[in-house]
Amino acid sequence: MKPRGLARRLRSDRRGAQAFEFVIISAIFFPITFAILELGFVLWTQNAMQSAATIAARCSAIGSADCPDVADFAAKAVGEWLVPDEIVKAEVTVTTAASCNGAPGKAAIVTISHQFWGALTLPAPFASPLISVSACYPSST
């Protein structure tokens, strides 16, 4: 067979074109889809941590008997929304300050910092981000 005839025959042959197109599109589509899902999980984790920090700061500020150990209370609160025991007590810092967002008076501040474990398909700046949230609540005393 002549090279010219082979080239003409390959150009007109469409078998396998759909499989090739699927490979090209899926090589772009699937990583983007997984990155969107993982970014959503990072944001969900951050939201759960922020909610737990807010609840723990309020509990500390009002001196509730429900949370004698505020750091443990915050870690367990995060575990109720996320994977249990994902946040440990050592990742929670509880401090007091002279003001809360400019409001005078004593305030309880709860900070939670956690190295996110799940970001596997996100690009370099977002892979395994350190998520840090903080909440303060003015004390009534």
| Residue 80 burial by Cβ neighbours in a 10 Å radius (0-12, 13-18, 19+) | exposed
Q: How far is CA 141 from CA 34, 39, 104, 120, in A?
A: 48, 40, 12, 46
- Residue 141 has a pLDDT of 61
Largest interatomic CA distance in the chain? 95
**pLDDT tens across the length of the chain (141 residues):** 566 666 676 666 677 778 888 899 999 999 888 888 888 888 898 999 999 999 999 999 888 888 899 999 999 999 898 888 888 899 999 998 888 877 777 899 999 999 887 656 666 666 677 889 999 998 866
pLDDT for the residue 86: 83
Query: Which pLDDT score is estimated for 39?
Result: 82
Q: How many domains does the chain have?
A: 1
What is the token pair recorded at 56? 């723990």
Q: Give the pLDDT confidence score for residue 121 in this predicted structure.
A: 62
The pLDDT of residue 50 is 95
- Between 70-81 and 17-62, two packed helices, what is the crossing angle to 10 degrees? 150
pLDDT for 102: 78
* Residue 65: domain span: 3-138
